[in-house]
Amino acid sequence: MCGSEVPADPNKVTIQQRFLTVLKVGFIFSAVLTVASIFTSYTPSFMKCMMTTLVFGLATNSMHQMRENR
């Protein structure tokens, strides 16, 4: 009908879901590099990897909380 609202598609991927996926991938990659930095010298220093993992973890947790509040 004219003037009626179009229902939202619940299966559509939102920008928040995509950003959360990017954060999760970054967190996992950073965690792998952190473990690798203990055993090899081909990766950045352990402290850099650990701080990056911590930041990704906090960002991922924050994004989860923002999505739950909706």
The band of 45, judged by pLDDT with boundaries at 50, 70 and 90, is very high
* Contact indicator for 52, 31 with CB cutoff of 8 Å: no
- On the 0-12 / 13-18 / 19+ scale of CB atoms within 10 A, 48 is middle
Tell me, what's the pLDDT at 7? Answer: 80
40 vs 70, higher pLDDT: 40
Does the pTM of the predicted model rise above 0.75? yes
Tell me, what's the pLDDT at 70? Answer: 65
**For the chain, what are the domain ranges?**
15-68
For residue range 4-44, list pLDDT tens digits in order.
887 877 788 888 899 999 999 999 999 999 999 999 999 99
